[in-house]
């Protein structure tokens, strides 16, 4: 790409390319955690369940809402369950950064809210970062043996 065109193109890829000389951490595209067989879904697949029903009509939506309310009530009654909700805000203007946030509720404690800047990211990448932050914080809770994750991103949750 011509240098004059590079200056006019605004994207995360171009920003990364322009700042590679100041990156201090090496990027390993073949990291051990990304290797098939070493991913969380590979190691704990039998312990992970997905509830990704997307309701289309009003009656199904009401049933879905009741189901989610029941999950929340059940999780709130169990002191060993940590419930987390993750979400992001990704601006449409490329000059701004994405924000990720999560909320934790466990036992009679909650909600505990955390948020941080995620940098320039796509919506799915930011959602994945928010879920990772939420699960990481949930794992720090002592005596918890179940984590319920709520997200509005079906791509990131899988």
Q: What is the pLDDT of residue 94?
A: 75
Q: Name all domains of the chain by residue range, CATH numbers in brackets.
A: 51-158 (3.30.420.10)
The whole-angstrom separation of Cα 118 and Cα 99 is 5
Report which of residues 83 and 35 the model is more confident about.
Answer: 83
Mean pLDDT, rounded, of the chain: 84
Of 13-22, 47-56, 90-99, least confident by mean pLDDT is 13-22
Report which of residues 28 and 140 the model is more confident about.
Answer: 140
Residues 136-157: tens digit of each pLDDT: 999 898 888 889 999 988 888 8
The whole-angstrom separation of Cα 109 and Cα 53 is 29
The whole-angstrom separation of Cα 138 and Cα 135 is 5
- Can you read off the two tokens belonging to residue 106? 């466990």
- Can you read off the two tokens belonging to residue 137? 């914080």
Confidence at 114, pLDDT banded by 50, 70, 90: very high
Confidence at 106, pLDDT banded by 50, 70, 90: confident
Buried b (16+ CB within 10 A) or exposed e, 109-141: eeeeebeeebebbeeebbbbbbbebbbebbeeb
Mean pLDDT (whole number) for 58-84: 90
- For residue 77, the tally of other CB atoms under 10 A from its CB is 9
14, 29, 151: which is closest to 85 by C-alpha?
151
Q: Residue 122: how many CA atoms within 13 Å on its side-chain side?
A: 7
Mean pLDDT (whole number) for 48-55: 81
Mean pLDDT (whole number) for 19-45: 76
Mean pLDDT (whole number) for 112-136: 91
- Strands of 98-106's sheet, edge to edge? 109-119, 98-106, 81-89, 146-151
Q: What is the pLDDT of residue 12?
A: 67
**Secondary element (H or E) of residue 100:** strand 98-106
The whole-angstrom separation of Cα 75 and Cα 144 is 11
Confidence at 127, pLDDT banded by 50, 70, 90: very high
């Amino acid at each position: 790409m011509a240098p004059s065109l590079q200056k006019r193109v605004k994207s995360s890829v171009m920003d990364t390319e322009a700042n590679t000389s100041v990156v201090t951490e090496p990027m390993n595209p073949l990291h051990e955690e990304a290797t098939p067989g070493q991913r969380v879904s590979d190691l704990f697949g039998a312990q992970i369940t997905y509830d990704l029903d997307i309701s289309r009509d009003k009656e199904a939506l009401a049933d879905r809402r009741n189901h989610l309310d029941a999950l929340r009530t059940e999780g709130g009654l169990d002191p060993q369950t940590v419930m987390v909700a993750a979400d992001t805000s990704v601006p449409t203007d490329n000059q701004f950064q994405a924000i990720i946030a999560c909320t934790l509720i466990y036992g009679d404690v909650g909600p505990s809210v955390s948020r941080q800047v995620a940098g320039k990211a796509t919506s799915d990448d930011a959602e994945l970062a928010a879920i990772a932050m939420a699960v990481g914080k949930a794992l720090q809770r002592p005596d918890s043996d179940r984590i319920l994750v709520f997200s509005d991103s079906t791509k990131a949750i899988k």
